[in-house]
């Protein structure tokens, strides 16, 4: 793979005035989220295969159609994805990492030289040690980048590579500036890639280690060996905590050996699948059988997770 020949001007620039305009722009954009131009997304379907990448941010993320916009001293070469502080940035595809720590505008950034030949840029990763935007962190693993990551590291699609923040000229606006360069060439609009991307609930793990997932939500359908939930929060063990998410449909297998609370047996053990009206919504908590955190599991593909226990929640 050739090192990307990224002209520095390709990174979008934000002067102080630009930062103000960006803030204003982001604030206005947030105001129209409900008017649906900006997409605040639960569950975009996996893409058409050709352009299906892993969505580069885990958790709350709002995207904008801002590629090509005039910004400061140049054209905006990526899409800005509004994030929360320190949310995980994950690899869009399998590839090799280059850390880049010396750009005052990009702040803490990295490249993924993807196995497909496409290069991805992740700009404005975290440089704060506290939520007070202290800028006291440096572009190092554990602050900006995933622990253990270095230039030359190989990563798997969906693996955590960094933490989102506001380094460089993004100060004050937590967002990931994400660029897509097919064939390691000029940037293209990331939007079709992001719209078709697979969204993960949690990062894929770099080493095989089984995880248990807790899911809270309402039953949308059940029976015939599955239960479909509208999930509004989840937790991963070991090590996680409960995270609230935009409602997301997930279908879990219900093996015969799973423990179903007696109040749910008629519903969940029904021999045929039944869809519930929203009025009869039954709130539940489900815990899954330990499974390796593969892409299928991390994105909650139908049947990838199986119920170990389910009870009213
Ligand atoms: Zn940007």
Q: Which pLDDT score is estimated for 44?
A: 36
- Rounded to the nearest whole angstrom, what is the distance from the C-alpha of residue 81 to the centroid of ligand 1? 8
295 and 149 within one domain: no
- Rounded to the nearest whole angstrom, what is the distance from the C-alpha of residue 215 to the centroid of ligand 1? 34
Q: Which pLDDT score is estimated for 9?
A: 40
CA angle (101 as vertex; 61, 133 as ends), nearest 5: 50
283, part of any domain: yes
42 and 104 within one domain: yes
- Rounded to the nearest whole angstrom, what is the distance from the C-alpha of residue 22 to the centroid of ligand 1? 9
- Rounded to the nearest whole angstrom, what is the distance from the C-alpha of residue 80 to the centroid of ligand 1? 5
User: How many domains is the chain partitioned into structurally?
Assistant: 2
216 and 192 within one domain: no
Preceding peptide of 238 cis, ω within 30°: yes
291 and 214 within one domain: yes
90 and 144 within one domain: yes
185, part of any domain: yes
pTM here?
A: 0.80
* Domain harbouring 276, CATH code: 2.40.50.320
> What separation in angstroms does the CA of 7 have from each of 77, 103, 112, 181?
11, 11, 16, 13
Q: Which pLDDT score is estimated for 240?
A: 86
* Domain harbouring 40, CATH code: 2.70.70.10
- Rounded to the nearest whole angstrom, what is the distance from the C-alpha of residue 23 to the centroid of ligand 1? 12
129, part of any domain: yes
204, part of any domain: no
- Rounded to the nearest whole angstrom, what is the distance from the C-alpha of residue 73 to the centroid of ligand 1? 12
> What separation in angstroms does the CA of 105 have from each of 18, 60, 72, 167, 258?
12, 24, 11, 8, 53
Q: Which pLDDT score is estimated for 50?
A: 53
Distance (Å, rounded) from C-alpha 158 to C-alpha 125? 17
218, part of any domain: yes
Q: Which pLDDT score is estimated for 239?
A: 85
Per-residue tokens: 89: 């940035």
260 and 177 within one domain: no
Alpha helices by DSSP H, the chain: 16-31, 191-196, 265-268, 295-298
Distance (Å, rounded) from C-alpha 196 to C-alpha 49? 9
- Rounded to the nearest whole angstrom, what is the distance from the C-alpha of residue 110 to the centroid of ligand 1? 14
Domain range for 88 is 8-196
Distance (Å, rounded) from C-alpha 235 to C-alpha 228? 17
CB under 5 Å of ion ligand 1: residues: 12, 80, 177
Q: Terminus-to-terminus CA distance in the chain, angstroms?
A: 50
105, part of any domain: yes
Pairing between β-strand 283-288 and β-strand 210-223 as defined by DSSP bridges: antiparallel
- Rounded to the nearest whole angstrom, what is the distance from the C-alpha of residue 140 to the centroid of ligand 1? 21
- Rounded to the nearest whole angstrom, what is the distance from the C-alpha of residue 117 to the centroid of ligand 1? 22
136 and 81 within one domain: yes
105 and 17 within one domain: yes
Distance (Å, rounded) from C-alpha 88 to C-alpha 80? 15
Q: Which pLDDT score is estimated for 51?
A: 54
Which are the contacts of 16, defined by CB distance < 8 A and separation ≥ 6? none
Below-50 pLDDT ranges, the chain: 1-18, 20-21, 24-25, 27-49
- Of 196, 227, 260, the last residue of a domain is 196
Helix/strand/coil for 183: helix
- Rounded to the nearest whole angstrom, what is the distance from the C-alpha of residue 36 to the centroid of ligand 1? 20
188 and 218 within one domain: no
- Rounded to the nearest whole angstrom, what is the distance from the C-alpha of residue 264 to the centroid of ligand 1? 48
255, part of any domain: yes
Q: Which pLDDT score is estimated for 110?
A: 98
85 and 158 within one domain: yes
- Rounded to the nearest whole angstrom, what is the distance from the C-alpha of residue 76 to the centroid of ligand 1? 6
């Amino acid at each position: 793979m050739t090192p990307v020949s990224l002209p520095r001007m390709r990174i979008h620039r934000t002067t102080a005035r630009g930062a103000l305009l960006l803030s204003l722009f982001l604030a206005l954009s947030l105001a129209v989220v409900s008017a649906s131009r900006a997409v605040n997304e639960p569950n975009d379907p996996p893409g058409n295969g050709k352009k299906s990448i892993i969505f580069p941010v885990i958790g709350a993320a709002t995207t904008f159609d801002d590629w090509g916009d005039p910004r400061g001293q140049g054209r905006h070469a990526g899409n800005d994805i509004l994030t929360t502080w320190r949310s995980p940035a994950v690899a869009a595809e399998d590839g090799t990492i280059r850390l880049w720590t010396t750009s005052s505008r990009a702040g803490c950034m990295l490249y993924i030289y993807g196995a497909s030949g496409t290069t991805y840029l992740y700009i404005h990763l975290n440089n704060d040690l506290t939520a007070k935007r202290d800028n006291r962190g440096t572009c190092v693993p554990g602050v900006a980048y995933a622990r253990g990551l270095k230039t030359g590291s190989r990563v798997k699609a969906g693996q955590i590579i960094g933490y989102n923040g506001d380094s460089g000229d993004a100060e004050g606006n937590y967002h990931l500036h994400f660029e897509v360069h097919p064939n390691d060439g000029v940037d293209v609009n990331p939007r079709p890639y992001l719209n078709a991307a697979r969204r993960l609930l949690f990062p894929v793990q770099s080493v095989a280690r089984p995880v248990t997932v807790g899911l809270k939500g309402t039953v949308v359908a059940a029976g015939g060996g599955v239960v479909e939930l509208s999930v509004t929060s989840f937790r991963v063990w070991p090590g996680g905590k409960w995270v609230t998410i935009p409602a997301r449909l997930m279908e879990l297998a219900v093996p015969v050996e799973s423990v179903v609370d007696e109040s749910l047996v008629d519903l969940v053990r029904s021999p045929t699948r039944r869809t519930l009206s929203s009025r009869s919504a039954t709130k539940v908590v489900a815990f899954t059988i330990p499974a390796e955190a593969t892409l299928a599991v991390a994105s909650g593909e139908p049947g990838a997770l199986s119920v170990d226990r389910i009870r009213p929640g």
